[in-house]
Structure formats: C-alpha cells, structure tokens
Structure 1
Amino acid sequence: MRGLRRWWNDTAGGLPATFWYLWSGLLINRAGAFAMLFLSLYLTDARGASEALAGAVVGAYGAGGAVGVLLGGAGPL
C-alpha cells in the first residue's frame, strides 16, 4: 500500500487543486453520460414504452446535446 501511495504522490501529487475540482466535475459528468446507455432499456422494460419512443427519446437527447455544443461554442472533448 505504501508503494501505491508513493507512486500516486510522485505522479499526481503536484497538481493544483483547481485541476482536481475540474477532474472531479468531469468524472461526474461522464458517469451521467454513461447512464444514458441504459435509458432505452429502462424506458422499454420498467416504463413499458415502445422501442420507437425509447429511440426517439435517446435521439432527442443526442440532438439536444449536439445543438447545445454548437450554440455554446465549445468543441467536443
């Protein structure tokens, strides 16, 4: 365990706190995006929606994300 802690401090210990705040936010954001993979399964199985509706919902989410990136002026990460 001591070797792992030493490796971690040598590798990332000198990074500023701002980096870790941004990294944590990005991690939470990407974890939420990962949950989108299961939205269609949830809609069809638990909520009883049709496959067409589940596809439309996931497609609308993707289209909204694309429009938001274009209007916000940020490129994909």
Structure 2
Amino acid sequence: NTRVTELTAVQEQDTQDIYEVMEDAQGRQMEIFQRVEALVDDSQYHYETGRLVDQEARCSREAWADSIGLSSAVHFEL
C-alpha cells in the first residue's frame, strides 16, 4: 500500500513536470511565431521603402535629363 502511494506521488510529479515542459515549449513557440511575424512585416516595409527609393531615383534622373535637354536647347538657340 505504501509503495502504491509512493508510485502515485511520483506519477503526479512526473505529470506536473511534463505539463511544465509543454507550457514552456508553447511559450517559446509563441515567441518564435511573433518574431517571424515581425520579420515578415519588416520585410514588407523594407520592400516598399526600396521601391520608393528606386522610384525617386528614376524621377531624379528624368528631371536631370530634362534639365540638360533644356540647357542644350537654350544654348542652341543662342
């Protein structure tokens, strides 16, 4: 009877240990999931920023080319 009581106590402790390990694993899993979500969001912002920088550079090159063209046209008229 004492042995059964001891085994029951050991089983209960082992069960509690397993539940703690599972909770820790779920917490780490949730943390990893949140980090991945943040990285995905960041990558979308970085992509959009890169696209805007490229667009700005293209507009600047076009404006520069137009200004050079106007300068040449004015010079030619003189």
Give the alignment's TM-score, normalised by structure 2: 0.35
Q: Which has the larger radius of gyration?
A: 2
**Larger helix fraction of residues:** 2
Give the alignment's TM-score, normalised by structure 1: 0.36
- Which structure has more relative contact order (CA 8 Å, sep 6+)? It is 1
